[in-house]
Amino acid sequence: MTSNTTTGTRPASAASVDILRDLVSFDTTSRNSNIPLIAWVEDYLANRGVQSTRIYDPTGTKANLWATIGPAGEAGYVLSGHTDTVPVDGQDWASDPFRLVERDGRLYGRGTTDMKGFIAVALAKVPEMLQAPLQRPIHLCLSHDEEIGCIGVRYALEKIADLAPVAPVAAFIGEPTSMQVIVAHKGKHNYKVTVTGKPVHSSLAPAGVNAIDYAAELILKIRDINRHFAEGPRDEAFDVPVSTAHTGVIGGGTVLNIVPETCEFAFEFRMLPGISHQTYEDEVRSFARDVLEPRMKAIDPATGIVIELVNGTPGFDTDLGSEIIPVAKALAGRNDHAKVAYGTEAGLFVHMAGVPSIVVGPGSIEQAHRPDEFIEMAELGRCERFIDRLIERCC
């Protein structure tokens, strides 16, 4: 990683703050519809003469939004951000999470960092985009359901040829990176496992099939895979330089004196780019099928293990010789870059749409998903500078 040469900062504009205030007021927790927020953005754009396109999910209760400013027949750049947020349930907030509050140069509210701050700045810059003699277009892509598996943007990317007739030069995904240029992230695949045993009174335990016991054996297999990952391959540019396997949720059984009939757990793989999860998924499945299930079914054929792939998001790794990296650094006013373990929609832009991508946006990932989430006013100012430079480049 090279050294940082961040240029001077300036406060956020009133326009960015005002728009952020409106965006935060919409409770777009992923379980809710984001349509009211999308309608607000549509009106904002339409009032400035910008047409936009909704791309609905199959239920019709959520939508992505795509808009293009500038000559659609040229290759341009995408500014992309997700509109959904994580819940505030059970979190202790000092103020209403859906009302923007300013304290000591910070703006508090759910989504301020992750990632309505970026969206607010992009929208605030639309009038300047319209006034500029753009020779390349700037596309805006607002998505839904990123927080539950980068689901929503897929529906937009399936239609990318219609939305952007000329393939974009690059996409900038505005996740909170403190405006550092992120050139790679890991892929993530998560799974649900259901173990079905045979319940009997615990005094007759050998006659039953203990679902928790068999789940535990499978979890230990996943742990062994994680230990194997620790041996390499490695990429020291990542904050976590190896692939990882992790079991995060488990539940099963009813009372102590009954051999448990069911146990469910969830696990994930986070793979370095270029390393397939499939080999290790197959290893888990074969262990369940060939080692565990024969022992279970010898007692009761109705028992078994079901492993479901719930969601998969690809990683990406931009070639360090790619032209887009120095462009992104120039726009960000920095000369450093990094790779991260968390996932974003960038991998989907690369793999589904063939659009080179960089993750760069205002705010710190350390604030994401936390109570009293905030973004520094100065971070919004840095993001404004980024888009100012992008507008200049497109002219």
Q: Which residues are catalytic?
A: 84, 146
CA distances for 127 relative to 48, 116, 122, 378, angstroms: 7, 18, 10, 21
- Supply angle C-alpha 248, 254, 258, rounded to 5: 120
Contact 80, 171 (CB under 8 A): yes
Q: How many Å apart are CA 1 and CA 15, to the nearest integer?
A: 34
Contact 179, 6 (CB under 8 A): yes
Contact 247, 225 (CB under 8 A): no
- Supply angle C-alpha 37, 85, 129, rounded to 5: 50
Looking at the chain, the number of H-run helices and the number of E-run strands are 12, 16
Contact 186, 315 (CB under 8 A): yes
Amino acid at 272: L
Nearest Cα to Cα of residue 245 among 193, 294, 306, 189: 189
